[in-house]
Structure 1
Amino acid sequence: MSDVPDRARVVIVGGGVVGCSVAYHLAKLGWTDVLLLERKRLTSGTTWHAAGLIGQLRATANLTRLAKYTTDLYTSLEEETGISTGFRQCGSISVALTEERREELLRSAAMARSFGVPVEELSPAEIAARYAPLNVEGVTGGVFLPSDGQGDPANIALALAKGARMRGATIREGVKVMGVARAGRRVMAVHWQDESGATGRIACDEVVNCAGMWGREVGRMMGTVVPLQACEHFYIVSEPIAGLGEMPVLRVPDECAYYKEDAGKMMLGAFEPRAKPWGMDGIPESFEFDQLPEDFDHFEPILEAAVQRMPMLAEAGIHTFFNGPESFTPDDAYLLGLAPEMDNVWVAAGFNSIGIQSAGGAGMALAQWMQDGEKPFDLGDVDIARMQPFQGNRQYLHDRATEVLGLLYADHFPYRQKATARGIRRSPVHHLLVERGAVMGEAAGWERANWFAASGQERAYRYSWGRQNWFDNAAAEHRALRAGVGLYDMSSFGKIRVEGPDAEAFLNHVCGADLSVPPGRVVYTQMLNDRGGIEADVTVTRLSETAYLMVTPAATRRADQTWLERHRGNRAVVVTDVTAAEAVFAVMGPQARDLMARVSPDDFSDAVHPFGQAREIEIGMGLARAHRLSYVGELGWEIYVSADMAAHVFERLLEAGAEVGLKLCGLHAMDSCRIEKAFRHFGHDITCEDHVIDAGLGFAVRTDKPGFIGRDAVLERRETGPQRRLVQFLLTDPEPLLYHNEPVLRDGEIVGHLTSGAYGHHLGGAVGLGYVPCPGETAAQVLASAYEIDVAGTRVPATAALRPLHDPGGARMK
């Protein structure tokens, strides 16, 4: 019978590298009552067969911070525990076979510089000199990251486990979690069974799902949705090759391949374009250090290209053909944090084949989050609260998994859309948009019109790092919003109804603005954390004495609702997702009033319907609610109409719009208009790590209102002044394009990076937003410097502004 405690502060489910890292970091923070349960043996699921590649550059600054932490941790772990991790910083080379991929690598190199990661850009000749076995035919360029490396996955996990034990954690192997006891939104106990058949119960305060490819089933057991799917993952290991020596890790993403020298042999791994989901009927109970059947036909195209790229593989025999399962998520980012459905169930799973290089940082971040009760820094890219409940659907996960594995090595073009598992959530006027040329994108499962194709034009994206095939379409839509009238469907935006006797007091507690306003008033506000960081960027409309409507981005609706629920306490309020109940149509542009007058008998003058007001209107033969506000910086209304009348109202707007030159617009045009107006985009320009004062949003916070979350931090920052400022940049050269993460140079030195970017069709150049550190400086001092933006290694001069470059006074929309 297993010696399993009957009580623990935290139970960690799963003994792979991630579970061991969470145990290690909790123990390091002083949690002595830590219990890790592994159903078989440590590392026996996925960790043992991982490739062990350890890279530092990730898609965002904070994920790069976590990856760099991982590298530092693995460097010191062997000395701490006495277990060899096999970690060595041999560097990595990524090569491009196309000009588009070369630009991607050059942009990633620029991003690395802004994140503080050492990087060198390489010509084909320089690549050949550093990696002699490589056939550089067709190679257009590459990058070298000297601080990347590789390690022994199983030993890294065992070293973390030993480090946890050394600090008092308990680890039990051969103990499977069979179920949990729940009370409301908490797990009270974990039920287990060991390999002898003995069973038991562990009372606990917290539980962490680190179950890897079993994470979805363990999540369901705990009342949570953990969207991940196991896929077959292939590599081969050659026979020993004489004189191979220590070499950098090599990635050839255009051939879906990576190469790693290991003990005188060469490993070739693949991220094939169409993956094979596995375990749809459940993972066998006996699974332990197992591999899946070979599928040479599936791997053969990768191998054929590899033999041409690395000719020595044609001479060396294959020592091992390996096929093992790894878990993948719908968006290729791992799942970390407090599960939205429960108050003490945490998740660290779905690592998309980068678990070894992510485990150290992920374990550290989750442990700190559990310790403090709030995220240590912005983790929005991996926070499990971004996932929608439907994404746990098995058919959805199967279909999406066929694509996302290969996307890791596909071209990471801007605006790239997923091709699989589409069409799940649709606006009530989806069919009307498609009939009129809409080219759809997807966010949180919602199909949304990103741009409208002209008659006879292909209705599909042609991706590039330059001007894509929809550039001129979005420019025309942008001009309509600026000079005429445009209509875009924003039904996907999240709508949360907060209702009850305590609704006003509750919203005044969680929001920075004053919500003690008359019915019909629309308030722009943020929900802040105790540090003054921005947890949500929303509008709140008072519908009645006891009811409010909060409108959020589609992608953050669930996270924002979860934040509300967790801070509700015992207040008499009900929080309800009503997103699907109403469609929303934005009528925007200088001629918006003219169009509204053609579809409604109501008065839309400034005197009757001023900016920031909402009221019931007649429209067509139906009823709606018109909110006067704008995310594009022009006169306009957002029309909220019940789903049953949405098609009718939309058709009437189109009919009347024909008389005033109405143009249907997509979200690309909306985004380019908002960045010209320097409106912030949540998740990019503003996050939980960005202080509301530094973000230039202090005007939306009322500190004369007592008792709201973050008030003290706002008062303190108002005393000290901003420590950095969010600056708007306009490139002086109209040709280059900006997306995000491009380095910002102030007087020749990198000081930060762009948080978002888009083309400003009205301003005549690419526009970006980015933070500039400025403790103790005035606004004038910040603007007195010379600024440049690094675009794929080329420094482009930029005009800097702290007030919007388009209509700085806001007269056009007011």
Structure 2
Amino acid sequence: MSDHLQISNPDHSKLPSHAEVVVIGGGVMGCSTLYHLTKDGVSDCVLLERNKLTSGTTWHSAAQVRALRSTQNLTNLIKYSISLYRSLEQETGQQVGWINKGSLSIATNPDRLTHIRRQEALARLYGVEASSVSADEALERWPLMNVDDVIGAVWSPDDGRVSPSDLCAALTKAARQRGGSIFEDTSVIGIITEGNKIKGVETTRGTIQTNKVAICTGLWSKQAAAMAGVDIPVWPCEHFYLLTRPLEGISGNMPTLSDHDGHLYIRDDSGGLLVGCFEPMGKSIDPDRLGTDFAFQLLPEDWDHFEPMLQNALHRLPVLEKAEVRMLLNGPESFTPDGSFLLGESAETQGLYLGCGMNSVGVATGGGAGWALAHDIIHGAPPMDLHEADPKRFDPAWSDIAALSERVPEVLGKHYEITYPGRQWQTARHLRKLPLHDEWQAQDACFGQAYGYERPLYFDAHAAPKMGFGKPDWFNQVGSEVKHVTDAAGVTDLSSFSKIDIKGADALMALQWIASNQMDRPVGSIIYTLMLNDKGGIMSDLTVFRLADDHFRLYVGTAAL
């Protein structure tokens, strides 16, 4: 792990009274956002850090950078990060510790093998190199591991790692050279709003007038956003990795070994091993318990909690039996209810932007996410469709602390879980129920959760569905329900959908402008269409009922409102 990053500001000792953009938080997300703001021509921007840069959670990150994500554009953010991390040293003269040695994902059961091979195919589709290898070939790349139960693996040569503190040093060096200012030891004590618009930031060193604020404060983002009257669904969990002293047979800069059936990631570190985990159920922690002076600090070791993961590691790496433990690092990381981060303008306050809730991939995503957030701040939209990270996707119920503290341990635990089709979350359920919930339940409904709502997926379900990649056990039941609706009739419960009424003399003209389909249909028509933004981009699909010449009712997917 790198030494703590120290930045001085002899040329910016006085806090400015005005800034075009204020970035709060000096971790990788804040530093990347500042870097990209200045790169895009905004020199009148300020980063505020209440302690020192990287002092929250960035400094202790294992800093793995895996290129593949669940969607094309999330993958594009990582690919951007990799390109940036490769080029920063040449741009700034500051080393960032980028090591591109690839990663190896192993499978010990047929479903995991199917899963990683599906990921391999997805990677190629998204422009990421990946290839299947045998257990023997995997052993050649990681000679110290036990492969007795390994039935296959996938090799991903694009993956790597970086030094988080050095990365932030390079980002801030470039930002300062382009006019950006950085103020450490400067706490934000208030965010000034008027009529749901940002007007300024109050700090321990004075007030800055601004219309744009970016919250990049990691696990403290919930408290920071609350100063602007915004309640966001971010909550921390404890995250563990084991560090050993140097071991015989460990060469420098080895590939990362991912044993997801064992919930482990493993790599070399200073001649020894770093063994990290995303255990099946994590431990949430109240950020208020950490206090405002929690900087370059760790949480207490918890060997009882880590013990099952240690046993998995001993099975995979017998050499650990001889290892001397340097420390069991326990550092907090922030998570969201669905495992994707928050990136973009908040729904409640104009000019308040969020770049937080990184779900333990902050360093990997930070380069691309900082670019996207800066682009949104400057140009009014991200450079690509990032609906998976849109802060507006969450119902307010998800900001409830009880729901968050119940859900985020499962989010951490699903980090390495096989992504079966139809997989549902098990925690923090029944946040919202439909009016006919009890009736659906009496019909043995199998419920899924969408936007916090419990919605029936199918009926006559007498047991929880078995997860798998083959024909699902609900196949025949769903088929019979579809046939009944097709051949006879059915009732659709739209209670959880958002409804928007557009009325008036210009209602048709407005819809013709923002909808992709022909809206001038007879009264009584039901029209399926896309809703477009001012650039012609697709915001959502929806169904429109024409109730009168000047009255349209829009039924919108709940999360798209």
For Structure 1 versus Structure 2, the TM-score category normalised by the shorter chain is over 0.9
Give 1:540 shift: 2.4
Q: Distance in 2 between matches of 1:202 and 1:247?
A: 47
Contact 1:329 1:352 in 2 (8 A): yes
Following superposition, the deviation at residue 430 of structure 1 comes to 0.8
Find the aligned partners of 1:98 and 1:329 in 2 and give their Cα distance: 29
* Residue deviations 1:282-335 (CA, integer Å, cap 9, x gap): 530211111011111000110011111101111011011111100000000011
For each residue in 1:530-563, what CA deviation from the matched residue of structure 2 results, as whole angstroms up to 9, or x when unmatched?
4432112222234456653211112212xxxxxx
User: Following superposition of structure 1 onto structure 2, how do residues 384-403 of structure 1 map, counting pairs within 5 Å?
Assistant: 384-403=391-410
The alignment status of 1:348 with 2:359, answered yes or no, reads no
Matched residues, number: 549
Give the C-alpha shift of residue 480 in structure 1. Answer: 2.2
Residue type at the aligned position of 1:127: A
C-alpha deviation, 1:520, in angstroms? 4.1
> What is the aligned counterpart of 1:476 among 471, 474, 480?
480
1:92-107 aligned at under 5 Å gives the runs 92-107=103-118
Q: Which of 470, 494, 499 is equivalent to 1:495? A: 499
Among candidates 231, 234, 239, match of residue 240 of structure 2: 234
Q: Does 1:535 find its partner at 2:539? A: yes
Q: Equivalent residue of 1:478, what SS?
A: helix
Structure 2 letter corresponding to 1:55: R
Matched, 1:412 2:411: no
Aligned partners of 2:398, 2:501: CA distance in 1, in Å?
23
- Could you report, residue by residue, the CA deviation over 1:206-251 in whole angstroms, capped at 9, with x for unpaired residues? 1111111111111111122321101111111011112311310011
Partner Cα distance (1:97, 1:396) in 2 = 34
Is the deviation greater in 64-73 or in 381-390?
A: 381-390
Deviation, structure 1 residue 518? 6.4
Task: Report the CA distance between 1:515 and its aligned residue.
Answer: 4.9
Q: Which residue of 1 aligns with 2:230?
A: 224
Whole-angstrom distance in 1 between the partners of 2:199 and 2:530: 34
Residue 303 to residue 388, structure 1, CA distance change in 2 (3 Å): same
Residue in 2 that maps onto 1:440 = 447
- Residue 563 of structure 1: aligned partner: none
Preserved contact between residue 144 and residue 249 of structure 2 (Cα < 8 Å): no
Q: CA deviation at 1:346?
A: 0.8
Cα distance between partner residues in 1 of 2:79 and 2:440: 45
Q: What is the Cα deviation at residue 387 of structure 1? A: 1.5
In structure 1, C-alpha distance between the alignment counterparts of 2:19 and 2:41, rounded to whole Å? 14
SS in 2 for 1:449: strand
Task: Give the conservation status (yes or no) of the 8 Å contact 1:49–1:324.
Answer: yes
Counterpart for residue 297 of structure 1: 304
CA distance in 1 between counterparts of 2:476 and 2:291 reads: 53
Number of the residue aligned with 2:73: 62
Consecutive unaligned residues in structure 1, runs of 5 or more? 194-198, 558-814
Q: 1:495 to 1:212 in 2, by over 3 A?
A: same
On the 8 A contact 1:449/1:489 being kept in 2, the answer is no
Pairs within 5 Å for 1:395-794: 395-453=402-460, 457-458=462-463, 460-499=464-503, 503-513=507-517, 515=519, 520-544=524-548, 547-557=551-561
Q: 3-state SS of the aligned residue for 2:191? A: strand
1:120 is the counterpart of 2:131: yes
Counterpart position of 2:163: 152
Q: How far apart in 2 are the matches of 1:13 and 1:286?
A: 16
Once superposed, what is the RMSD of the aligned Cα atoms?
A: 1.8
Q: Which residue pairs with 2:9 in the alignment?
A: none
Partner Cα distance (2:99, 2:320) in 1: 24
Higher RCO (C-alpha under 8 Å, 6+ residues apart): 2
Q: Provide, for residues 431-450 of structure 1, a one-character-per-residue CA deviation record: whole Å limited to 9, x for no partner.
A: 11111111000110011111
Tell me, yes or no, if structure 1 residue 7 matches structure 2 residue 18. Answer: yes
Between 1:2-11 and 1:347-356, the stretch displaced more is 2-11
Provide, for residues 238-272 of structure 1, a one-character-per-residue CA deviation record: whole Å limited to 9, x for no partner: 11112311310011111111101122110011101
- Which amino acid in the other structure matches residue 79 of structure 2? K
Moved more, 548-557 or 231-240: 548-557
**1:502–1:221 distance in 2 versus 1, CA, 3 Å:** farther
The 2-side partners of 1:11 and 1:30 are apart by 15
Moved more, 89-98 or 242-251: 242-251
Q: Secondary structure at the match of 2:115?
A: helix
2:321 corresponding residue in structure 1: 314
Pair 1:258-2:270 in alignment: no
Between the aligned partners of 1:247 and 1:301, the Cα distance in structure 2 is 25
**Structure 1 contact 34–170 (Cα < 8 Å) conserved:** yes
Measure the CA separation in 1 of the matches of 2:26 and 2:507: 44
Cα-to-partner distance string for 1:128-185 (whole Å, 9 max, x where unaligned)? 1211111012112110101100111111112111111111100100111111211113
CA distance in 2 between counterparts of 1:552 and 1:525 reads 11
Q: Is the 8 A contact 2:505 2:550 kept in 1?
A: yes
Larger radius of gyration: 1
**SS, match of residue 8 in structure 1:** coil
2: CA distance, partners of 1:507 / 1:218: 38
Alpha-carbon distance in structure 2 between the residues aligned to 1:230 and 1:498: 41
Question: 1:7·1:204 contact (CA, 8 Å) conserved in 2?
Answer: yes
Which residue of the partner structure matches residue 49 of structure 1?
60
Q: Secondary structure at the match of 1:205?
A: coil
Q: What residue number does 1:373 align with?
A: 380
Instruction: Go from structure 1 to structure 2 and tell me whether the alpha carbon gap of 1:217 and 1:502 turns closer, same or farther (over 3 Å shift).
Output: farther
Aligned mates of 2:259, 2:451 — CA distance in 1: 31
Stretch of structure 1 that moved more, 477-486 or 183-192: 477-486
Q: Which amino acid aligns with 2:216?
A: C
- The amino acid across from 2:223 in the alignment is E
Residue number in structure 1 paired with 2:27: 16
Deviations along 1:405-452, one digit per CA (max 9) or x if unpaired, are 011011111110000000111111111111111100011001111122
**Letter of the 1:152 counterpart:** S
Q: Which amino acid aligns with 2:40?
A: L
Q: Which residue of 2 aligns with 1:363?
A: 370
Question: How far off is 1:511 after superposition?
Answer: 2.9
Give structure 2 stretches of 5+ with no counterpart: 1-11
Corresponding residue of 2:8: none
CA distance in 2, matches of 1:516, 1:2: 62
Q: What secondary structure, in the 3-state scheme, does the structure 1 residue paired with 2:212 have?
A: strand
- Please say if residues 453 and 470 of structure 1, whose CA atoms lie closer than 8 Å, have aligned partners that are also in contact: no
In the aligned structure 2, how far is the partner of 1:336 from the partner of 1:220? Answer: 17
1:62 is paired with a residue of what secondary structure?
Answer: helix
Shift of 1:96: 1.1
Q: In the aligned structure 2, how far is the partner of 1:248 from the partner of 1:453?
A: 48
Q: Tell me, what secondary structure is at the counterpart of 2:238? A: strand
Q: What code does the residue aligned with 1:535 have?
A: M
Q: Provide the rounded CA distance (Å) in 2 between the counterparts of 1:101 and 1:46.
A: 31
- Tell me how far apart the structure 1 counterparts of residues 203 and 508 of structure 2 sit (CA, whole Å): 46
CA distance in 1, matches of 2:516, 2:474: 39
Match of residue 670 from structure 1: none
Query: 1:487 Cα shift?
Result: 3.7
Cα distance, 1:362 vs structure 2: 0.5
Structure 1 distance, partners of 2:473, 2:519, is 44
- The change in CA–CA distance for 1:471 and 1:512 in structure 2 (over 3 A counts) is closer
Q: 2:207 and 2:520 mapped to 1: Cα distance?
A: 49
TM-score, length-scaled by structure 1: 0.65
Q: Of the candidates 267, 277, 291, which is equivalent to residue 284 of structure 2? A: 277
Alignment pair present for 1:243 and 2:249:
yes
CA contact (8 A) 2:219 2:287 kept: no
